[in-house]
Chains A and B, each alone.
Chain A
C-alpha cells in the first residue's frame, strides 16, 4: 500500500531556531516528492519539488533532502520565524497513474517568540 509517514506529529520551537521534519514513504512507482506548507484553513502551498535524481533543493530558508534508496526525505527550516507556524505536508506523486498525489498527515509546527 502506498503510504507517506511524517514525524514528528507536532513540534514547538523558539523563534530563530532551526528544525528538521522527517518523511518516509513507500510509494511505488515514484515520480517526485514535494513539501507543502499549509496555514490553518487554507490550501497547501508548494515549497519544494524533487525528482528521483535530485537529493537536495532549497527555497529560501527551507531546504529539502531526498534519499531515494532509503525512501526518506527531510525538510530543514533555518532561522525560524513566527510566520513559519503552519502544517508541513510531505507529498509523493506516483507515476503509475495520472500523477496522483499521496499525502502525509503533516507535521504541525508552532514557532514561539
Chain B
C-alpha cells in the first residue's frame, strides 16, 4: 500500500520563476494538505484541498495556489519565487475530517537562488 508520494524530491529554481510540486495521497485518502517547513522550524500550514476545492488556508500570499484532481492528487504552485520560499514542502493526506490517519510524504526540497 503506497503512502503519500511527492515529486520531485529536490528542485532548484531562480528568483522570479514559477514552480509546481506534486503529491499523490495515500490510497483511500481524499484530503490533501500542504505545509512549508523552513530549516530548523516546524511546518507551517499553507492550505487544504477536499473534493477539488480549497477549504482552508493559512497565512500565505496569493502567489501560493493549488489544485486537486478527481483522483485526489494535488499540485502546489508558487509564482514569482523569492529567496525566502526556499524550504521543505510537505504534503499530507487524510480521509475527510478524520485527522487520525494523517500521513505525510517525504517532502520536496525547494531551493531558490
Q: Real complex partners, A and B?
A: yes
**Which residues of A come within 8 Å of B, CB atoms?**
4, 31-32, 36, 41-46, 49, 89, 93, 97-106
Show the binding face of B for A, using Cβ within 8 Å. 4, 31, 33, 35, 40-45, 48, 50, 55-56, 58, 88, 90, 92, 94, 97-100, 102-107, 109
Q: Pick the contact of A41 from B97, B98, B109 — CB < 8 Å?
A: B109
Contact B56 A41 (CB under 8 A): no
Given A31-B99, A32-B99, A98-B56, A41 and B107 contact (CB-CB distance below 8 Å): yes
Contact partners of A32 in chain B: CB under 8 A: 99-100
Write the chain A residue with the least CB distance to B109: A41
Q: For the complex, what is the distance from the CA of A105 to the CA of B50, rounded to whole Å?
A: 27
**A44 lies within 8 A of B43 (CB):** yes
Please name 15 further chain A to chain B contacts, defined as beta carbons within 8 Å, in addition to the given A31-B99, A43-B90, sorted by A numbering. Answer: A32-B99, A43-B4, A43-B104, A44-B90, A89-B42, A98-B50, A99-B97, A101-B45, A101-B99, A101-B102, A103-B43, A103-B44, A105-B40, A106-B41, A106-B42
